[in-house]
Structure 1
């Protein structure tokens, strides 16, 4: 199955199949025949993408996010709590740094932490900060969490082709999906622009599981 932005937003006349779940209109990822520029597997299972939650989970939740996005941060604790409580969700946090240099640096440092084994701690520290960050704020937040931003940056630079390639694919996927900003979620094969509360997130996961 493939994805195309024409398949996503019926309100824009693009031919999406729509459903309503918990008061939210969702666009089902059902592209028109003959589109082959982006597959669902490309979005859900990028081989370079770090995975949180249960890597073998039966439902994948994708969030396109930015470390300076206030709505991403506001909903992050509920997202992580639901993933932990469920126990069978693959969580994919797709870095889409659209708020400037501090966002880019934050993504670079946290992705650099993957090989250091501190990705989860680094991401959690930055997601717990106020929305707007300077580059100095990014570094000081990581240092306060007991991490070494210089080592993280060195690790990122050592594997820069991998991480820059990942972020470039994330950006191209966001454009293909017609995303207008962060956060944007894909749950199973369903697209939700915006941030669901925990109840709606749980309902969406259940619906994805039921339709699998």
Structure 2
């Protein structure tokens, strides 16, 4: 019945062609504007059509499932595309902020170097510890590179203490020394006052001043900015790198990091 109804719909669509042309049996090209379609009201019984359609769906429930599955796949694909586009936009925005000449984070390498690599890390992260010598080697071989160090202390209270300590050291111009010590020292790094004071003295940091700065407004504001950017990127794992070509997650090779910086972008 359904097939018959569909055929009926197709065969009741007619073209308005001049009668003379039809009588002579010639093939004519009919202008689009002269084409009309009409279906006689009595040709379709709406109730019968709906009944036939319902019977067809009852006989083929797999058609309904297939249609729903396809609809869901299309919805998920559209959502994934939108999410990826939004994430890429956020990555570019965050990268641009840290590529500024005076970023809100400590810098390794030449502060005014034209190429920027952004690293998000945690001092208690074993993969960040693995990445550290690779970053050092990359800086040594790339004089035009600087690495902006964005602290994302995601592994507990001790990680936050170490991040604050490193930022306090940065206020005294001793970030690079403390950063290296934190990654080459014991793991997990102790965070009691005695241990931190020894670490401070070993790296030329004024401990009483650093202790005050760790709880001060400047360190708190900088750490809050870094945490906000990390959350904006979807709370990515560590280490996570932002490059001119996008984001890389994990303790990747020097070659992969170098390749990500060869886009010729990010110069400031």
- Answer yes or no: same fold by TM over 0.5: yes
The answer to which of 50-59 and 82-91 deviates more is 50-59
Q: Distance in 1 between matches of 2:115 and 2:159?
A: 28
Q: Is the aligned partner of 1:116 residue 2:183?
A: no
Alignment of 1:84-95 (within 5 A): 84-95=140-151
- Is 1:81 the counterpart of 2:137 in the alignment? yes
Mapped to 2, the partners of 1:78 and 1:55 lie a distance apart of: 19
Distance in 1 of aligned mates of 2:135 and 2:154: 21
Specify the alignment match of 2:58 in structure 1.
none
Q: Point out where structure 1 has 5 or more consecutive residues left out of the alignment.
A: 1-9, 18-27
Structure 2 unaligned segments of length 5 or more: list them: 1-76
* Higher helix residue share: 2
The residue correspondences of 1:22-171 to structure 2 (distance < 5 A) are 30-31=88-89, 40-45=95-100, 47-136=103-192, 139=196, 142-143=199-200, 145-148=202-205, 149-157=207-215, 160-171=216-227
Deviations 1:139-165 (CA, angstroms, capped at 9, x unpaired): 2661573445443222334xx222211
* Number of residue pairs matched by the alignment: 184
What is the RMSD computed on CA atoms of the aligned residues?
A: 2.9
Tell me the CA shift for residue 58 of structure 1.
2.1
Higher relative contact order (CA 8 A, sep 6+): 1
Q: Could you tell me which residue of structure 1 aligns to residue 264 of structure 2?
A: 209
Normalising by structure 1, report the TM-score. Answer: 0.74
Please state how far the C-alpha of 1:69 moved relative to its aligned partner.
0.5
| SS at structure 2 position matched to 1:102 | helix
Deviations 1:13-40 (A, max 9, x none): 25437xxxxxxxxxx9742xxx8xx554
Which protein has the bigger strand share?
A: 1
Distance 1:138 1:106, change over 3 A: farther
Corresponding residue for residue 13 of structure 1: 80
Seen in structure 2, the aligned counterparts of structure 1 residues 167 and 189 have a Cα distance that, compared at 3 Å, is farther
Q: Flag the structure with larger Rg.
A: 2
In structure 2, the CA distance between the partners of 1:178 and 1:49, relative to structure 1 (3 Å rule), is same
